[in-house]
Amino acid sequence: MTQAMSVTSKPVLAPGPRIPGAMVKLVQLSPFAIRQDQLKLNYDMMKQYGSVVCMHVGSILIYFITEPDLIHEMLVQRPEDFRKAQLLRDSAGWMMGNGLLTSDGEFWKRQRKLAQPAFHHKRIEAYGTTMVEYTAQMLETWKSKPSIDLFNEMMALTLRIVNKTLFNVDLTSQVERIGALMTTILAAANDKLEVVPTLADKLAVFKRRREQQALADINAIIKQIIEEHRQAKSDSGDLLTMLLEARDENDQPMPEQQLQDEVMTLFVAGHETSANGLTWALYLLATHPEVEAKLRQEIKQVLGGRPPTIADLAQMPYGEMVVKETMRLYPPAGGVTREPIHDTQLGGYLIPAGTLIGVSTYAMHRNPKFFPDPEAFDPERFSKEREAAIPKYAYLPFGGGPRVCIGNSFAMMEIRLAIATILQRYQLTVENKEPVTAEQQFTIRPKQRIVMRVNG
């Protein structure tokens, strides 16, 4: 039942900080304005004000929610009352157009239905061989490298995997260039998520030109992928073939721009989030030797030195716990954003249409009410016995409801197979002198470069 209503009086606001309009203007105009650490801000507000926080930034109203029951209500029980927030549509839409991540309503339902078969369980199982083969190829190159840049290596690996499995193309020769372009584009998209852009942001003309050029270069690569696939006229059962062959109710193919947007969405989301997951998992394993030793023992016991397969994953429950705990500490994306389509009520608060609602999974995953000793890396949280005690929707690495991440099973399988393959061959040792911290760059990336010494 909808809880929409007409708000005729001033709504009762949830607790939270109030920033006067004059202060907002001062921040906007100051050339010395420092961008807030969004992850820390969300976490600190949750600790200070609770699980429903209202932040008034001048005339802009923002709600931050980390209450599982309210998240379930918004994403699962009443998804028709909320849509993707305009702020996200503007930032992600700048690079992905009107793809699966940014579209809404009936249009989104149609596009999701077209793409879903590529992520069915049997289809994903067929991708497993490629994931293991490409990981093994990467490990061969490590023989001549005493140390590696972990994030760059994982970005290159997941980029190759997603393009081979979903688009049936091999971009090995371009991975370094694409990685640099993606870093520029994602940083730009993250800038566009700023509710209060500073004057410095607005005046960064040359930076914006560089970002636009990076986006144009990536779009050119996407167009090349589509055109080469179209010319090849071969059906390998990949996602791009499905999209090219899709027809609407009038037997018309998908418009070229929409095809470009969907490929771009999966191109970005399909490798960036997995690269982050792999990077954080390997870093946490290297800094927690007792966890790594237990995982190595499981891998050795099940595989006995042979390459892993999809069937092996069911016999390696500790590996799944490690990945789940990694995604608790460092979820693939920083959170979920929505806005009510009409004036509505949530958690006893009246929320006007268009209000930005942010769900910080990063903060919620660190709430000691749901996760005791939340900063500790403890894969045993996700043993069958302990996981059952975690409230539903307190753990949300891939979102939830009808719009749960379409590639969640793909990502979990990819990360688990890659970790098993890597740990069979190498011991990785962190060379960084200081602890690595996280930052919000559209996704949650390492702030510092992670250098790993490779020991065979």
Residue among 85, 88, 205 nearest 443 (CA): 88
| Pairwise CA distance, residues 162 & 407, whole Å | 11
pLDDT in tens, 322-338: 999 999 999 988 889 99
Specify whether the CB–CB gap between 171 and 160 falls below 8 A. Answer: yes
Q: How many domains is the chain partitioned into structurally?
A: 1
pLDDT at position 442: 78
Q: Are 382 and 318 in contact (CB under 8 A)?
A: no
Is residue 359 in some structural domain? yes
Where do we find the tokens 């771009």?
A: 264
In a domain? residue 1: no
Residue 288, pLDDT score: 98
3-state secondary structure of 195: coil
- Helix, strand or coil for residue 344? strand
CATH number at residue 369: 1.10.630.10
Q: Kindly report the pTM of this predicted structure.
A: 0.90
Residue 13 lies in a domain: no
Return the pLDDT at 219: 94
Task: Give dist(CA 294, CA 261) in Å, integer.
Answer: 43
pLDDT at 36: 63
Confidence at residue 269, expressed as pLDDT on a 0 to 100 scale = 85
Residue 5 located in a structural domain: no
Per-residue confidence (pLDDT) for residue 399, from 0 to 100 = 93
Give the pLDDT score at 201: 61
Contact (Cβ atoms closer than 8 angstroms) between residue 338 and residue 82: yes
Residue 46 covered by a domain: yes
Q: State whether residue 178 is helix, strand or coil.
A: helix
Considering the domain boundaries, does residue 167 fall inside one? yes
- The DSSP code for 12 is P
Q: What residue numbers bound the domain in which 239 lies?
A: 18-455
Residue 203: inside a domain? yes
Q: For the chain, which residues score pLDDT lower than 70?
A: 1-11, 20-36, 58-59, 194-203, 235
Tens of pLDDT along 66-76? 999 999 999 99
Structural domain includes residue 4:
no
